[in-house]
Amino acid sequence: MGACTPATGGFGALLRGLRTAAGLSQEELAHASGVSVRALSDMERGQSRGPQRRTVQALAAALGLDAAGCRELEYTASLGRPRRALKNDVPPPGAAESAVAQARVPDLLPRAPRGFHGRAVELVALSRAAAGEAPVCLVVGPAGVGKTAIVLHWAHHGSVDFPDGRLYADLRGFGDTGAPALMEVLREFLHALGVPHGRMPESANRAAALFRSLAADRRLLVVLDNARDSEQVRPLLPGGRRCVTVVTSRHRLPGLIVTDNAKPVAVDVLAPEDGIMLLAEVLGTERVCEEPVAARRLAELCGGLPLALRVAAARLAQRPGWSLGAMAAELSDETRRLSLLDVEDTGVRAALRVTLQQLPRQVFRQFASLGRHPGTHVDRYAAAALADTDPSTAEASLERLAVAHLVTETASGRWTMHDLVRLYARSLDAGPDGLKRVLDHYIATGLAAVAAAEPGNEECFPLPADHLPPAAVRKFDDRPAAVAWYAAERDDLTLAVAAAHAAGLHDRTWRIVLTLWPLIVWRVRDGWVPLLETALEAARGDADQHGEPRVLNVLGWVLIEEGRIEEALTHLGAASALASRAGDAVAEANALIVLGVAQAALGSLDEAAEGCERAVELARKADDRTIERLALQHLARHRADAGKWRQALDTATEALAFDDRSGTADVPRVLLLMVKGEALLGLGYEAEGIDQLESAAREAETSGYDDGAVRALGVLLRVSADGGLPARYDAAVARLTTRT
């Protein structure tokens, strides 16, 4: 007898739920209450919807219900009992209206949004998420991105059908007025479903149970807008298998995904074209089409955020004589942009402010500190430096900010902010020294990268006197890890240099640039001159005798590679003189080496070789094996270019014997292998020469040293019959010329 059809709603669903919660079978409840098993089965299957009061009282006593539980059970039973008509079947005043109200399909949805445009992808995703049995759809995205508009447009105009009604509640999870009480929302839902105010359950738990039972056999849409967290949503989920619940939130609400199998639908900013169309909806197509460039610029300055676009459009609508170009010009001023995107109590700042109010103090502090970051992306180390904390704490805060859609993880361990969110963060008080701390983080990390990329080289420089050491510095296991960091951080390092220079932190400016020298040498034709000129200006402003000649050396090297030999000679001559006056043998040796490259480019190979010989002497005096090896490498090149093959071979062999760097594929090793190969060819040892050049090419290709690969493969093409060489050469050239 226990295997009955599950209840579908009303009194039967409530009774079966109470019996199950009490751990009783139908037979046990029947025995305890004196009600027959068959009668119980009929009640639970909905065939007997309105049992008499004494039956209900007996069941309540057998179930051990308290007074509130008894009242709820009796009330639910009374809804299913037939009503006796008044004398002469004349309804009492207002009864007809009440019957109509109860029969009316509830619809609590706000009006459909006006000026809605685009969002085809999100609407399709929402329709797919709403398919299936009792789905919970979780529409998430940052403040002002248009989550509510998408859901309301979908609910009003989509191809979905909810014949039993549409319920809506604004949970105000991110509002200044505070969230509504659970009972307040449940009363509104129950009243919409036909429950009179006088018969509302007294407790939120009972009201939620009644809501679930009334929704159980209906096809309802329930929209729970602006939810703060999963706990706020769960009591409001309907119990029916045919109901669809759509939740919107600025938070990801992973708890709902775990416990209720919620299907997330992410909402991002609008593409520029859709942003322009939104402007046209408010301002009119003609006005927008008159200034297409300005319209696109407005969409870009608003960052594709619908809230920002609507505020900008509202300002323009109030001033019909004002051009879109004038508005774009005003928004271009970052110091005014956020204030221009506020109208009364609506705008980007207001939306972000209430989002941040939900965050713990430590997370808020991390958010404010991100506004001091000069670049566009942070990792946990940079975030820790900004907030003066440790990387683990910073990462936890970043993840919390990502849940709130205040930052976005664009790659594993790298976060970024929307432009308007970043401007808001900059307006907050983050305490002193945030910029200096993150600059010193980049210096410390850059030195660690140099040590991994070029082991054995001298330290680039001493740290600034007021250096603020970070709590932890990223470790690099090898050259590829260091090069990968350089590649990922290059743009942000460039922005950090600009920020340091603008702030007058000259001692940080040139140091950050010098930590990039392994990447500069590795990708020497990547347009480094402006950055190095900034570093040179800073080193001179800092009056640092150690930094200036080193910056001049690197700048001279890059200028030579760009074919600007005369400029290079000027800088390298100054570098040599500065280093000599300061008694800096290493810097002087470096300057002579690079100066020799410039002299060789002008055809003065003997002069270049003499300079390198002097550099070898200086390196030996300073006991710097790395600089000595570098000087020998260039000396070997000059001798090979002069056709002095035996001397070139001996010098290259000597330099290669300094230490075994096979497998490391550093730049000097690749270039030494090339010189050795060319010298062997010049001496008539063709097979051995080709082998050395092939080794140089392979090591360059494997390590990503495209410039070296092009040089080695170019020589091989002239002397080898290998049919695969042209394709390898073309691929290396393509990589070199298309790399950014």
pLDDT in tens, 441-463: 999 999 999 988 887 676 678 89
Which amino acid appears at position 576 of this protein?
S
The whole-number pLDDT of residue 128 equals 86
The whole-number pLDDT of residue 85 equals 45
Of the listed ranges 81-95, 583-597, 627-641, the least confidently predicted one is 81-95
**Is residue 494 predicted with pLDDT exceeding 80?**
yes
Average pLDDT, the chain: 87
The pLDDT-based confidence of 33 (bands split at 50, 70, 90) is confident
Report how far Cα 206 is from the mean position of its chain's Cα atoms.
Answer: 43
- Tell me what the mean pLDDT of segment 43-66 comes to: 80
Q: Which residue has the tokens 């690749």?
A: 670
- Tell me what the mean pLDDT of segment 409-437 comes to: 91
Q: What is the largest CA-CA distance in the chain?
A: 128
- Tell me what the mean pLDDT of segment 571-582 comes to: 92
Of the listed ranges 27-31, 176-180, 444-448, the least confidently predicted one is 176-180
pLDDT in tens, 347-375: 888 888 888 888 899 999 999 999 999 99
Q: Which of 66-80, 478-492, 638-652 has the highest mean pLDDT?
A: 638-652
Of the listed ranges 81-95, 583-597, 645-659, the least confidently predicted one is 81-95
Which amino acid appears at position 81 of this protein?
R
- Tell me what the mean pLDDT of segment 614-634 comes to: 92
The whole-number pLDDT of residue 524 equals 84
Rounded Cα–Cα distance for residues 150 and 123 (Å): 7
The whole-number pLDDT of residue 369 equals 96
Of the listed ranges 500-514, 596-610, 646-660, the least confidently predicted one is 646-660
What values do phi and psi take at 248, rounded to 5?
-110, 145
- Tell me what the mean pLDDT of segment 158-173 comes to: 82
pLDDT in tens, 119-129: 888 888 888 88
Rounded Cα–Cα distance for residues 674 and 693 (Å): 5
The whole-number pLDDT of residue 101 equals 39
The pLDDT-based confidence of 92 (bands split at 50, 70, 90) is very low
Q: Do 544 and 510 touch, CB atoms closer than 8 A?
A: yes
List own/partner pairs for 224-227 with CB under 8 A and 24 or more apart: 224/169, 224/171, 224/248, 225/148, 225/151, 225/168, 225/169, 225/170, 225/171, 226/148, 226/170, 226/171, 226/172, 226/173, 226/174, 226/175, 226/250, 227/171, 227/173, 227/251, 227/253
Of the listed ranges 39-48, 260-269, 383-392, 512-521, the least confidently predicted one is 39-48
Which amino acid appears at position 459 of this protein?
E
Q: Which residue has the tokens 């839902």?
A: 189
Rounded Cα–Cα distance for residues 28 and 283 (Å): 71
User: Where is pLDDT greater, at 33 or 536?
Assistant: 536
The whole-number pLDDT of residue 64 equals 80
The whole-number pLDDT of residue 659 equals 65
Q: Do 373 and 436 touch, CB atoms closer than 8 A?
A: no
pLDDT in tens, 137-154: 999 998 889 999 999 999
The whole-number pLDDT of residue 739 equals 59
Rounded Cα–Cα distance for residues 439 and 428 (Å): 20
Rounded Cα–Cα distance for residues 313 and 410 (Å): 30
**Is residue 703 predicted with pLDDT exceeding 90?**
no
